Structure 1
Amino acid sequence: MIRVVLADDEPVVRFGVKAVLATARDIEVVAEAENGSEAVDLVARHRPDVAVLDIRMPRLDGLDAAGHIRERHPDTKTLVLTTFADDAYISRALGEGAAGFVLKTGDPQEIIAGVRAVATGAAYLSPLVARRVVDQLSRAHPRPAATQRIAALTAREREVLGLVGAGLSNAEIAARIHVVEGTVKVYVSTILRQLGVRNRVQAAIIAHESGIIPS
C-alpha cells in the first residue's frame, strides 16, 4: 500500500484529489494538510511514501515544504500539483528535489500514475507539464544545449535516460533492457553525475529537451 500525505489549502481541491486517489486500491491518503508547515509535520508523524503538495499554500509553500521533506525525510518522495500559471516555480521545484509534476486540471488518472511512479523512485512529468517545462527551459537552454549534454553518454546510458524521461522506475527499466535492477541503479547514478544534475526529474527534463523519449 502506498501511503500518502496530501496538502492543499483549498478544501475542494483536497477533496477531489483524495477522491481520485481513493479509486486506486494500492493508494491510501493517511493525512491531509492545509499548508506546507502542517504537511512537513504530518510527514514526520506518518512517514508516508509520497507527499502530494500544492505549490501555493500559506505559511510554507509547497516548494519549501518539499525541500524540508527532502532534507529531513528523504524516504518520502514529493509530487507537486501545479497549474500552467506556475511556470516561474519550475526551476525552484527541481532544486527542492520534487520527484514529479502533475497538472491540477489534467487527467485525474495522471495523479494516480504520478503517485505510483514517484513511490517507486521514478520521476514523473504529466505530458502537458513536461511540454510546458521543456518549452520554458528551452528558452533559456535551447535544444542544442541538451543534445550536447548527452553527447558524452554511451548509447546504453542514453537509452536509460530516455526511459527515465518516460517515467519508468529502475525495475521497469531493468525489465525493458534485460538487465538486473542493480545495473540500472549504476547507470542512473552515472547519468546524473555526467549530466551534473541532482535528481531524476532534472535528468528527465534533459531527456525531453534532447528528444530521446522512446515512442
Structure 2
Amino acid sequence: MTPIEKVEGRAIPLGLKNVDTDVIIPAHWLKTTSRDGMGKGAFETLRADPGNLFDQPEYKGAPILIAGDNFGCGSSREHAAWAIGDLGIRVVIAPSYSDIFSGNAVKNGILPVVLPQSAIDRLMEVAQTDPIHVDLDTQTVTTPFQDRFAFEIDPFRKMCLLGGLDEIAITEKSDAAIRAHEDKIAKTQPWLQPAAQ
C-alpha cells in the first residue's frame, strides 16, 4: 500500500448525498478478484452522462473526491474502495461515511476525511477552479485562499495510512515476535508440532 502524507491537486466536486457502493462500482464488476482495471467501472452510471465531472479534462487524474453525506452506504463490497483507488483518488472528503466503506477505504490506502457540511460547501466552490491540499500529518485540508479545516482521524488508521500498512504489513512487522513465540511453543509443547513425514 502506498503511504499517504500529503495529497494536493484538483478535487472532483461530486457533492451527492447517499452515494452507495452500487453507484461507486456496479454489481457486474464484482466478478473479479483483481483491483487492476476497476477504475474503468468506477461511477459507471454517472459517467454514462457525457457531461459528467469524472471525465471532464480539468478533473482528469484528480486525487481528491468531495462527496455528500453518507458516502459509501449500501453493500459492504470492498470493490468500491478498489475502484476509487484505481481511478487515482487518494482522498475522499465528506460529512459522513458508511462504517464499512470507511474501513475498506483505509485498508486500501484511501483517506476518508470527515468535515462539516459548511466546509464541504466551501471546498465544492474552490474545487471548481483551484487545487486543494490535504495533510494527514497535521490533519488539515487547506486551499489557496487561506481556508483551513481540521479533521479528526483514529490514531491507528492514521498510522496505517502514513506508513502504507495494510493488515498483512502490520502482521509482518511482528515477524520476530511471532517466530520467537513459535520457537518457544516448539520447545515447551512439542506435541503440538506436526508429525515428521
Larger Rg: 2
Give the TM-score normalised by structure 2.
Answer: 0.32
Structure number with the higher helix fraction is 1
Q: Which has the higher contact order (CA 8 A, sep 6+)?
A: 2
Give the TM-score normalised by structure 1.
Answer: 0.30
